[in-house]
DNA sequence: CGCGCATGTTCTAACGTTAGAAGACGATCG
DNA sequence: CGATCGTCTTCTAACGTTAGAACATGCGCG
C-alpha cells in the first residue's frame, strides 16, 4: 500500500468525506501505479448488485432489435451498466426464465421483449426482478412498459396514405385473439383511423402475421391479393414485413408505389436501401433507450409502485414506397 | 437444510463421489424445494471465473454482426457461457480496453472484432485475457484467429464471374496501407485470381473503403464509374457495400446484373430481399461460432501456446446480382 | 479382532469488497 | 485546560461459495 489503511482506500474510492486532499492524492497515485481495479465479484457479493442487465429478445439478428440493442448499449454505458443479451427463440420456457430474472445469476434488471408469454405466466413468476417491457404489452403489477404511441402512429400512417389519395388500404400483421399484442394494437389504430376518414378496411384486406418477418409479409401479400386484389395500399405492422411485402408485390407484377403503396414501422436502416425506399413510422430510439434505462434503474433501486407506461416520440418518415 | 452438512451439499452439486444415492436425492429434493440457485458472484469470487464472455464489435446493429452475435449466443449457451456485448464505435480507446479484457470486470474471455487497433497496441496490452479475434487479422502472441479462407473465397468469386463471361471486374473495399485488413486480403485474393484467369483489374477499377458500409459501397461505385465506366462486374468486400453499390449503380442507370454484376461477402439476410437478390460468399456461421468458442475455452482454461488460425468453411451462394 | 473403505461430519480459510464500531492523535476553541 | 472536531487507524463481520484437513461412524473382510 501507499502508507494508508484499507478503510481509507475505500473512503477515497467512494469519495467519502473526512479524507484530506493530500491523502486522497497519495491513494489515487498508488491506485494508478498498481493499476488497481475493484473486483466486480467482490462488490457484487457485498452490495448485492452486479450492474449487469439483460436484454431479452427472440433473436438479436433482427434489424430492429439490433438497432435497439445499439441504442441501449449506448445509453447503458454512461449509466454504469453493462448489457447482456439473451435470446429466447420465442420459447415459453426461455421467456419464463427471463421473466424470473435469471435467479442466481445476479442480474440487476431485465429489459424484456416478450413474445410467447401471457399475463398469467407473468403473474406466476416467483422472483420479482426489476423489469421493463418493450414491444408487446403485457399487463403486470410492477413491470413498466415503454413504447411509442401505437394508436397515434397508426393514425398518422393512415392519414398520410389517405392524403396520397389511397382509399382501399389493407393491413398486414394482425394478431387476432391476442389483445395487447403489437400487431393488434396497430391494427385497431389503423381501423379506427380509417373510420375517422369515412373509410373501412377492404373486405379480405387484413392479413394476420404471427411473427413480424419478411416471410410473413410475403405470405400476407399473397393472402390479400387473392382476396382483395384491388387494394391500393398496405400498412404493415413492421418494416421487416413491409420488405417482404414489397418483394411479393413486385413478383406479382404490382408496381410499388404506383399500384400499391407500402408503409411499415421501425425505421430499420434497410428501409433506405430497398427499391423503392420505405416509408415508415420511426420511433425515437435514443429516447426509448433513455426512458427504458431510467425506468429500470428506478425499479432496481427499489421502486415498487405499480407498473406504468412511458410513451416516447415517433415521426413518420416519408419515402418512395408510399408515393409521397 | 435437509439434515445434511454444507460440504455434502457441495459434493452433490458438483457430482462428487462418496455420496449415497439416497442422500443425493434428499439434497436435490431440498434444493428444488427451496428453489436454491448457486450465486454467480460467490462462485466467481471463489473460482476466479465468471462464465461471462464479451463480444466486442464496432456496432451491434450491422447485419453481419447481428447474425454473428446470434450464432455465438446459440453456441455459448450449451457451453455454460453467457455473452456480453460491448460496442467500441471503432474508437482506439475502447478497443484498447477490450484488448485488455476489461480488468476488474471478471470477464473470462473476449471475442474481438478489431477495427482501429494495430499490432503494436496489442503487444502493449498489460493483462493477457483469453482472446479470439474475428474479421480483421492482427498478429498476436496468444490470441487465436477464426475466419473463412479469404483468399480462396475471393478466387471462388472471381472464377464465378469469369464463368459468367465477365472480363472487366472491379473491386470495392480495398484498404491500402493496412496489410492484413480484411478488405486488403480479399482484394489481393481477387487480384491473384484475376491473374490466374489471364486478366488484370481494369485501370481505376479498384476503390478503397475504410468501413464496410452501404455508404462506402455507394461512394465506391461513383469512384469506379468515373474512372472505369466499362466495368462489367464489381466484387465488394462485404454484402453491406454490395447493397450500397447496387443502389448507386441503379441510380446511375446501370442495370444489375445485365450491365454490371455485383457480388459480396457475408450472406446477410437482406441479400435475399434486395432487387436483384445478391450473390455472396456465405461463411458457415455455425462452424465459426463453434470454433471460436472452442478456441476461447481452451484459452480460458490456461492454454498459452502461440496464437493459431482456424479456417471455417464457406460457400458461394449464387443469386441474381451476378447474372447466374 | 483389527484394518480399510464408503460415507459422511465439523471446522477453517479463502476469494475481494464494504461498513460499522471504537479509538488514537493533533489542532482548535471556548 | 478540557472539550470538540477532523482525520485516520485497527479490528471485525458479512456477502456465497468451495476445498482441505481431520475426524467419526458402520460395514465387510481377512
| A271 CB-near residues (< 8 Å, 6+ apart) | A239, A242, A243, A264, A277, A278, A280, A319
| A211 CB-near residues (< 8 Å, 6+ apart) | A90
**Is residue B322 within 8 Å of residue B71, measured between CB atoms?**
no
* C-alpha cell, B310: 482456424
On chain A, the residues whose CB falls within 8 A of the CB of B59 are: 70
* C-alpha cell, B11: 459434493
- Would you call the peptide bond into B257 cis, given omega within 30 degrees of 0 as the criterion? yes
Convert the pLDDT of each residue in A252-303 to its tens digit: 999 999 999 999 999 999 999 999 999 999 999 999 999 999 999 999 998 8
Measured distance CA(B181)–CA(B170) in Å, rounded: 19
Helix (H), strand (E) counts: chain A: 11, 12
Q: Closest Cα of chain B to A193: distance in Å?
A: 31
Does position B205 have pLDDT exceeding 60, yes or no?
A: yes
Which residues are paired to B83 by β-bridges?
A: B53
| Nearest neighbour of A60 by CB, restricted to B40, B42, B73 | B73
Q: Which residue has the higher pLDDT, B320 or B2?
A: B320
| pLDDT level of residue B118 (50, 70, 90 thresholds) | confident
Measured distance CA(B245)–CA(B274) in Å, rounded: 12
Does position B1 have pLDDT exceeding 60, yes or no?
A: no
**Is residue A211 within 8 Å of residue A186, measured between CB atoms?**
no
| pLDDT level of residue A41 (50, 70, 90 thresholds) | very high
Question: Beta strands A233-236 and A261-265: pairing type?
Answer: parallel
Q: What is the number of other CB atoms lying within 10 angstroms of the CB of residue B16?
A: 12
Closest residue of A to B57, CA-based?
A70
Q: Which residue has the higher pLDDT, A303 or A170?
A: A170
Integer CA distances (angstroms), B30 to B5, B35, B43, B216, B301, in order? 12, 8, 20, 60, 33
Dihedral sign from CA coordinates of A70, A71, A74, A80: negative
The mean pLDDT value for B200-213 works out to 96
For strand C, which nucleotides have at least one atom less than 7 Å from a protein CB? Answer: 6-12, 14-21
A61–B73 C-beta distance less than 8 A = no
Nearest to B111, CA basis, from B153, B175, B52: B52
Which residue in the block uniquely carries the three cell numbers 449415497? B20
Convert the pLDDT of each residue in A80-92 to its tens digit: 999 999 999 999 9
Measured distance CA(B202)–CA(B237) in Å, rounded: 17
**Is residue A228 within 8 Å of residue A257, measured between CB atoms?**
no
Does position A1 have pLDDT exceeding 70, yes or no?
A: no
Using only the alpha carbons of chain B, give its radius of gyration. Answer: 24
On chain A, the residues whose CB falls within 8 A of the CB of B269 are: 61, 214
Q: What is the number of other CB atoms lying within 10 angstroms of the CB of residue B122?
A: 21
* C-alpha cell, A231: 387494394
Does position B30 have pLDDT exceeding 60, yes or no?
A: yes
A142 burial class (0-12, 13-18, 19+ CB within 10 angstroms)? middle
Q: Which residue has the higher pLDDT, A283 or B6?
A: A283
**C5 C1' to B19 CA distance, Å:** 13
Q: Which residue has the higher pLDDT, B20 or B86?
A: B86
**D17 C1' to A231 CA distance, Å:** 65
Q: Closest Cα of chain B to A305: distance in Å?
A: 26
Measured distance CA(B247)–CA(B215) in Å, rounded: 10
Integer CA distances (angstroms), A91 to A128, A179, A208, in order? 20, 19, 20
Q: What is the mean pLDDT of chain B?
A: 93
Nearest to B94, CA basis, from A288, A31, A285, A73: A73
* C-alpha cell, B151: 483468399
Closest residue of B to A241, CA-based?
B273
Q: Which of A293-302, B135-144, B168-177 has the lowest mean pLDDT?
A: B135-144
Does position A190 have pLDDT exceeding 60, yes or no?
A: yes
Q: What is the number of other CB atoms lying within 10 angstroms of the CB of residue A311?
A: 15
A274–B273 C-beta distance less than 8 A = yes
Q: What pLDDT shows up at residue A2? A: 62
Measured distance CA(B3)–CA(B6) in Å, rounded: 10
**D30 C1' to A147 CA distance, Å:** 79
Which residue in the block uniquely carries the three cell numbers 481509507? A8
Q: Is the distance between the Cβ of A20 and the closest atom of strand C smaller than 7 Å? A: no
Largest CA distance in chain B: 84
Q: Say what the pTM is.
A: 0.94
Question: What order do you get walking across the sheet with A279-283 strand by strand?
Answer: A206-208, A169-174, A233-236, A261-265, A279-283, A314-317
What residue is closest to D9 (Cα–C1')?
A5
**Is residue A317 within 8 Å of residue A166, measured between CB atoms?**
no
Does position A14 have pLDDT exceeding 70, yes or no?
A: yes
Nearest to A84, CA basis, from B136, B72, B79: B72
Q: What pLDDT shows up at residue B3? A: 62
Closest residue of A to B71, CA-based?
A61
| Phi and psi, residue A173, nearest 5° | 105, 20
Closest residue of B to A102, CA-based?
B37
Measured distance CA(B313)–CA(B306) in Å, rounded: 23
Measured distance CA(B231)–CA(B229) in Å, rounded: 6
Q: Which of A12-16, A88-92, A239-243, B319-323 has the lowest mean pLDDT?
A: A12-16
The mean pLDDT value for B118-136 works out to 87
Q: What is the mean pLDDT of chain A?
A: 93
Does position B163 have pLDDT exceeding 80, yes or no?
A: yes
Q: Residue B281: left (phi > 0), alpha (psi -120 to 50), or beta?
A: beta
The mean pLDDT value for A168-187 works out to 95
Q: What is the number of other CB atoms lying within 10 angstroms of the CB of residue B246?
A: 30
Integer CA distances (angstroms), B289 to A76, A81, A86, B183, in order? 26, 26, 16, 22
* C-alpha cell, A233: 395500399
Q: What pLDDT shows up at residue A193? A: 98
Q: Is the distance between the Cβ of A5 and the closest atom of strand C smaller than 7 Å? A: no
Convert the pLDDT of each residue in B60-85 to its tens digit: 999 999 999 999 999 999 999 999 99
Measured distance CA(B33)–CA(A61) in Å, rounded: 38
Convert the pLDDT of each residue in B212-251 to its tens digit: 999 999 999 999 999 999 999 999 999 999 999 999 999 9
Residues in chain B: 324
Convert the pLDDT of each residue in A134-155 to its tens digit: 998 888 878 999 999 999 999 9
Measured distance CA(B150)–CA(B157) in Å, rounded: 10
B103–A214 C-beta distance less than 8 A = no
Q: Which residue has the higher pLDDT, B134 or A3?
A: B134
On chain A, the residues whose CB falls within 8 A of the CB of B41 are: 41, 44-45, 50, 106
The mean pLDDT value for A198-219 works out to 96
Amino acid at each position: 500500500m501507499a502508507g494508508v489503511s484499507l478503510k481509507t482506500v475505500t473512503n477515497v474510492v467512494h469519495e467519502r468525506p473526512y479524507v484530506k486532499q493530500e491523502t486522497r492524492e497519495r491513494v489515487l497515485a498508488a491506485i494508478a501505479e498498481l493499476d488497481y481495479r475493484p473486483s466486480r465479484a467482490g462488490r457484487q457479493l457485498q452490495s448485492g448488485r452486479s450492474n449487469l442487465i439483460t436484454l431479452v429478445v427472440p433473436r438479436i439478428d433482427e434489424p430492429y432489435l439490433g438497432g435497439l440493442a445499439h441504442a441501449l448499449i449506448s445509453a447503458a454505458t454512461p449509466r454504469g451498466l453493462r448489457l447482456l443479451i439473451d435470446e429466447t427463440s420465442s420459447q415459453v420456457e426461455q421467456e419464463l426464465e427471463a421473466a424470473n430474472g435469471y435467479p442466481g445469476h445476479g442480474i440487476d434488471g431485465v429489459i424484456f421483449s416478450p413474445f410467447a408469454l401471457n399475463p398469467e405466466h407473468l403473474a406466476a413468476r416467483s422472483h420479482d426482478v426489476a423489469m421493463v417491457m418493450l414491444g408487446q404489452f403485457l399487463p403486470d403489477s410492477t413491470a413498466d412498459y415503454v413504447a411509442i404511441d401505437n394508436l397515434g402512429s397508426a393514425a398518422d400512417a393512415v392519414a398520410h396514405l389517405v392524403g396520397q389519395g389511397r382509399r382501399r388500404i389493407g393491413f398486414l400483421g394482425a394478431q387476432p385473439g391476442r389483445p395487447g399484442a403489437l400487431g393488434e394494437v396497430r391494427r385497431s389504430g389503423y381501423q379506427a383511423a380509417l373510420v375517422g376518414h369515412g373509410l373501412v378496411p377492404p373486405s379480405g384486406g387484413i392479413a394476420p402475421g404471427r411473427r413480424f418477418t419478411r416471410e410473413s409479409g410475403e405470405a400476407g401479400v399473397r393472402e390479400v391479393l387473392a382476396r382483395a386484389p384491388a387494394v391500393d395500399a398496405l400498412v404493415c405492422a413492421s418494416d421487416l414485413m413491409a420488405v417482404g411485402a414489397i418483394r411479393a408485390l413486385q413478383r406479382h407484377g404490382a408496381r410499388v408505389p404506383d399500384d400499391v403503396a407500402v408503409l411499415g414501422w421501425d425505421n430499420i436502416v434497410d428501409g433506405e436501401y430497398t427499391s423503392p425506399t420505405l416509408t415508415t413510422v420511426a420511433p425515437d430510439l435514443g429516447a426509448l433507450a433513455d426512458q427504458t434505462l431510467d425506468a429500470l434503474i428506478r425499479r432496481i433501486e427499489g421502486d415498487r409502485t405499480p407498473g406504468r407506461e412511458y410513451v416516447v416520440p415517433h415521426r413518420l418518415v416519408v419515402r418512395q414506397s408510399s408515393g409521397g
